[in-house]
Structure 1
Amino acid sequence: MKKIIKIVPMLIAGIGFITPAISGPHWGYEGDEIPENWAKLSPDYQMCDIGRNQSPVNIAGTIHAQANALDIHYGLVSGNVVNNGHTVQINDKNTNDYVAIDGEKYKLTQFHFHAPSENQINGQSYPMEAHFVHQNGDGELLVMAVMLEQGNENPTAEEILLALNEKENLPSNINDLDIRSFLPPVNDYYRFSGSLTTPPCSEGVTWIVLKQPVQLSKTEIVKFEHAFKHHNNRPIQPLHGRLIIAN
């Protein structure tokens, strides 16, 4: 199945999103470490407070525009799955999973989950959101987000949950994981310039949010929420005049 999305390339500044559990002062989603306090935890996290192009956002009031093509090339993923204390993350050791923009490849490095969704569409939140994180040879990042709603069982989600070690920071190997079941059949999308949604909140990340959600069963959603132990979504951030492009 061919996936075509169009996008104007942007300069990506933040390269720390390869794993949400980056080194540095501890941060979280509860108590004194809530997102509203991230900038107070370390000088390295100041962008979380002063940034003008922060993520996530509420996608509303979009404009339609012509843009350049994005091709998605995903196969079977091998690597590991880990609960890193912030999310359930799948690290991809393959070199042949990528998206291509204007002939340049952005390799899929990892994908992870948030519950409930971080971004919203016309004020609507979803039970979960998957973030597919890509990086090119210059360290520029592109994150593709897929909204996850309650519905039918997702075989790939079930494989991830079965492989996941209940203890934090103890990865389990995975092989031949078909992540294409996390991609909707229709690839209409929104695009905007944003940031990491975790400290240090670096800006300049190209975000693509697919319009059509993908389904997980209620049981699968509950299992992911149990692994997180608490919500792990950053609150919606102001647009500050940014434009959101819709195809």
Structure 2
Amino acid sequence: MRRRQVLKMFAAIALCPLCASIGVAEEGHHWSYEGATGPDKWGELDGADATCSIGSQQSPIDITSAVTARQPSLKINWSKRPETIVNNGHTIQLNTPEGDTLQLGDRSFRLTQFHFHHPSEHLVDGKRFGMEAHFVHAAAAGGLAVVGVFIVPGKKNAAFNKIVSTMPQEAGAPVSADPSIDPSRLLPAERGYYHYEGSLTTPPCSQSVDWIVLAHHVEVAEADIARFAKLYPMNARPVQKIDRRFILRSRAG
């Protein structure tokens, strides 16, 4: 029994290493993508997750009616390799060391981890994509910037192939990641993006996220998408109401 509790603790920390500051649910709290603990119930499962139900700036969304406007260029400086990879019971996540950054205007964020959803969580004009990668960045002063990248079937991507080839098949504690995995290979060459204010797409659904959803996708082998889908056939939160939020699209790209 103790071992099971420890694994749950590792999974919670791995899913969101920043949750100590944004309010992770207590050990043993369980949520899922279907049934009695599915997305429509998240806000009722624990008091710390109430924002999932009552928040007015929830993510993901269907990106529609975006307004083209001048936006700061993305300065993505990633040179490190992930330290660990974990199957946390909700997704496959890779945790990164200090050093990789995202510069968004005059704000700087540190890359902490990236993970995957099948199918994509965000839509664009009603279109859903095969998968979506989320690169989670944290600012020293608080707040997150998450870069979302759509993934579609096509030519093989060496980085994604290595991830699905080495990902743990069962939930558990993090293990060492293959040093050949290069996160930058999961980015498209074009850096045009959509920008809106939103939330984490998993409990506690904290509304502290600058969403940067890239307008262009990356291709990976269809067989590799299938390998991920065998572990996680559906780990995407349904789209949420846009309410009165503005969605901006950068002029570049």
TM-score, normalising length: structure 1? 0.88
- Residue 115 of structure 2 corresponds to 112
In the alignment, is the contact (CA less than 8 A) between 1:164 and 1:172 conserved in 2? Answer: no
Matched residue SS, 2:82: strand
Deviation at 1:44, TM superposition (A): 1.3
Q: Distance in 1 between matches of 2:249 and 2:17?
A: 26
Root-mean-square deviation (CA, aligned residues, Å) is 1.6
In the alignment, is the contact (CA less than 8 A) between 2:25 and 2:204 conserved in 1? Answer: no
- Residue 208 of structure 1 corresponds to 212
Indicate the structure whose relative CO is greater, using CA pairs within 8 Å and at least 6 residues apart. Answer: 1
TM-score, normalising length: structure 2? 0.86
- Residue 78 of structure 2 corresponds to 74
What are the superposed Cα offsets for residues 37-57 of structure 1, whole Å, 9 maximum, x if unpaired? 111111111111111100000
Tell me the number of residue pairs that the alignment of Structure 1 and Structure 2 aligns.
229
Q: Which moved further from structure 2: 140-149 or 96-105?
A: 96-105
In the alignment, is the contact (CA less than 8 A) between 1:163 and 1:173 conserved in 2? Answer: no
Q: Distance in 1 between matches of 2:35 and 2:175?
A: 30
In the alignment, is the contact (CA less than 8 A) between 1:191 and 1:209 conserved in 2? Answer: yes
Q: Distance in 2 between matches of 1:42 and 1:151?
A: 41
Q: Distance in 1 between matches of 2:139 and 2:155?
A: 34
Q: Distance in 2 between matches of 1:186 and 1:129?
A: 16
Which ranges in structure 2 are unaligned for 5 or more consecutive residues? 1-14
Deviation at 1:102, TM superposition (A): 3.1
Q: Which moved further from structure 2: 36-45 or 172-181?
A: 172-181
In the alignment, is the contact (CA less than 8 A) between 2:111 and 2:136 conserved in 1? Answer: yes
Q: Distance in 2 between matches of 1:237 and 1:73?
A: 31
Q: Is residue 45 from structure 1 mapped to residue 68 from structure 2 by the alignment?
A: no
Amino acid corresponding to residue 157 of structure 2 in structure 1: N
Matched residue SS, 1:190: strand
Q: 1:140 aligns with which of 138, 143, 151?
A: 143
Which ranges in structure 1 are unaligned for 5 or more consecutive residues? 1-15
Amino acid corresponding to residue 227 of structure 2 in structure 1: K
Deviation at 1:101, TM superposition (A): 2.4
Change (3 A) 1:216 1:127: same
Deviation at 1:198, TM superposition (A): 0.5
Aligned-pair identity in percent equals: 35
- TM superposition outliers: structure 1 runs of 4+ over 3 Å: 16-20
Change (3 A) 1:45 1:36: same
Deviation at 1:186, TM superposition (A): 0.7
Q: Distance in 2 between matches of 1:214 and 1:206?
A: 21
Q: 1:194 aligns with which of 176, 192, 198?
A: 198
Matched residue SS, 2:168: coil
Q: Distance in 1 between matches of 2:168 and 2:241?
A: 36
In the alignment, is the contact (CA less than 8 A) between 1:17 and 1:196 conserved in 2? Answer: no
Deviation at 1:123, TM superposition (A): 0.4
Question: Within 5 A, what are the aligned runs for 1:1-247?
Answer: 17-18=16-17, 22-24=24-26, 25-93=29-97, 95-174=98-177, 175-228=179-232, 230-247=233-250
In the alignment, is the contact (CA less than 8 A) between 2:102 and 2:137 conserved in 1? Answer: yes
| Bigger strand share | 1
Q: Distance in 2 between matches of 1:143 and 1:123?
A: 21
